[in-house]
A and B are shown apart, each in its own frame.
Chain A
Amino acid sequence: MRELRGHGVVGGRARGHALVCTAPISGWGGIDPRTGTIVESRHPQRGESFAGRVLVLPGAKGSSGWSGQFHLAKLQGTAPVAVVFTRMNSKLALGLVVLDVPAVTNLDHDPFDSIRTGDVLDVDGTAGTVRVHRES
């Protein structure tokens, strides 16, 4: 187990498997909220699902429909259980307000080096920590 320390932006605690996205996500035209799947044709993690997982991503991009799409995901039970990210913008900020799941940023280690898809993460948005459990 390894603990990463950063800045919690939405409080609360959640545990889940990581989905590490190596590129920012579009909401509108980038995800399918019915399945919680990334659909943007050029996205490196196209076809992967974030439903019930911890979404690790550089940030949000694209259409202003970002929060609206994740809002639909939340109501359909396909939202991520926590978010770990590196870059804030208005789309992500509003998306986090609407998702209302624990969120952490500004980690002391690069999350894209430290976290792999499939790792189990304990995200504490109040303390601003992410614990990484990896099956070796």
Chain B
Amino acid sequence: MRLSPADERMLSGEDGLAVQAAIELLVRYGDLMGADRLIDTDNVCGANIFGPRHANVLGTTDPAALFSRFSLDLDGPVDVPPFRAHSCQVIGPRDREQWDVQGLAPSDVDAMNDSERYLAEKGVDLLSTCTPYQVGNVPRFGEHCAWMESSAVVYINAVLGARTNTEGRESSAASMLTGRTPYCGYHLDEHRLATHLVDVTHPVTTIEDWNLLGYWVGEQVHDAVPVLTGTGLAPDPVRLKQFGAAAASSGDVEMYHLPGVTPEARTLEQALGGRSPKATSVYDAGARAATVASLCRTAVDRDVDFVMIGCPHASLPQVREVARLLDGRRIADSTTLWVFTPAALRTVAERSGYVATIERAGGRVLADTCPAIGQFLPPRTRVFATDSAKQAHYLPAIAGVQGWFGSVDACVTASITGRWPDA
């Protein structure tokens, strides 16, 4: 790898042990990725708020010790200077205000607050969402970023035309400290071209449809870059958010093209870079039905204990829709409904009256976390329902619960009746 004079200075230890460890990690990581150099990045998103899962393993709640161990991969604590790159915190382990519903001990919350304060001192923007692009961190076209969170990675690559690989905690922390990232993968033009064609022959219009299409596409193309063709494909940002999150969960999709919608290719030929696709898949009624069955594969019992809306974190139209469906209704005593959204959007939802409507019906609007990341559920949850293919994919594995997937209407109705409708 060719290193710049600044890289060499950081490697020499002149900028301190933390920066030295960070640049060493980036060089090792970049070598494995086949990068010939590091490039500048000034937009980094990572996950560095630590709770009991990490504190118990390390035997301390000291945020500096936790950051050195888990973010910098160092055996002992080091002094960490203010971060060089513009940095933001992605989704974290707890709702800052309503953590009581998570069943957390106050001492655990104190430790998480310390961890958050530590990050703020280093200059991290505490957006605390899996969708930073919804609340002020909108990378420009072509901007080199270093982001965690697979659903956000695919969104900023495909929808915004920014450039990032799927970073992990250690590599994004290293980029925060150094302002550098390996020049490889989706930073390069050649890896952003489509290699797989997906011909969508079945209508895809609703948010539920886009979740299903995304989940199916991920299963078909794995980690390839697909280009979608078909008539009537006109997704709004919510649908694009759900589509990408689903494709990144079932497969490993970090980039895709939808000519006429996504910015890097206006035509199929442009998306493919003038080459023929390596493979073509056809999405039809059978594919849709199989995907519904696949997403509900863990579900047997129809009594629904918990309804989860907002994965990735709900946009305002999604919160508004839940409020509309719940207006004047009452959630069943046996069922809990939680909506998850970025804290900044929760503030606006509160101002707009959506939160009050949802709370009058017996639901809650939570922020900063989600059941999969925070690893919490309402007490005695055995069966949950969600409008997110991603959450239906992950939560059964993480929490050992049964999961139903359906439209937001079906989910909210299930919260009112306490039952998932018979097929």
CA distance A98 to B153 in the complex (A): 21
Q: A64-B148, A64-B149 are in contact. Are A90 and B297 (CB under 8 A)?
A: no
- Which residues of A have CB within 8 Å of B185? 89-90
Q: Does the CB pair A61–B297 fall under 8 Å?
A: no
Q: Does the CB pair B33–A68 fall under 8 Å?
A: no
Q: Does the CB pair B166–A97 fall under 8 Å?
A: no
* A83-105 to B contact mask, C-beta < 8 Å, 1/0: 00001111101111110000000
CA distance A117 to B34 in the complex (A): 30
Q: Does the CB pair B372–A68 fall under 8 Å?
A: no
Q: Which of B53-61, B94-102, B346-354, B406-414 contacts A (4 or more CB under 8 A)?
A: B53-61
Q: Does the CB pair B170–A98 fall under 8 Å?
A: yes
B233 on interface, CB distance cutoff 8 Å: no
B394 on interface, CB distance cutoff 8 Å: yes
* B31-58 to A contact mask, C-beta < 8 Å, 1/0: 0111000000000000100000110011
Q: Does the CB pair A71–B73 fall under 8 Å?
A: yes
Q: Does the CB pair B58–A66 fall under 8 Å?
A: no
B222 on interface, CB distance cutoff 8 Å: yes
- Beta-carbon nearest neighbor of A89 in chain B: B223
Q: A88-B32, A88-B33, A98-B73 are in contact. Are A65 and B58 (CB under 8 A)?
A: no
Cβ contact of B170, chosen from A29, A40, A71, A75, cutoff 8 A = A71
B318 on interface, CB distance cutoff 8 Å: no
Q: Does the CB pair A66–B168 fall under 8 Å?
A: yes
Q: Does the CB pair A64–B170 fall under 8 Å?
A: no
What is the total number of residues of chain B having a CB less than 8 Å from a CB of chain A? Answer: 41
Q: Does the CB pair A67–B170 fall under 8 Å?
A: yes
CA distance A61 to B253 in the complex (A): 9
A76 on interface, CB distance cutoff 8 Å: yes
- Which residues of B have CB within 8 Å of A42? 294, 297
CA distance A71 to B54 in the complex (A): 10
A62 on interface, CB distance cutoff 8 Å: yes
Please name 28 pairs of A and B residues whose Cβ atoms are closer than 8 Å in the assembled complex, sorted by A.
A24-B222, A39-B397, A39-B398, A41-B297, A41-B298, A60-B252, A61-B222, A63-B394, A64-B153, A64-B168, A65-B47, A66-B168, A67-B169, A68-B47, A71-B70, A71-B169, A71-B170, A72-B53, A75-B57, A87-B223, A89-B185, A89-B252, A91-B166, A91-B252, A93-B33, A94-B29, A94-B171, A97-B170
* Residues of chain A whose beta carbon lies under 8 Å from any beta carbon of chain B: 9-10, 24, 28-30, 39-42, 59-68, 71-72, 75-76, 87-91, 93-98
Given contacts A40-B397, A89-B166, could you give 11 more A-B pairs where the C-beta distance is less than 8 Å?
A29-B393, A29-B394, A39-B397, A41-B297, A63-B149, A64-B167, A72-B57, A75-B57, A90-B166, A97-B25, A98-B168
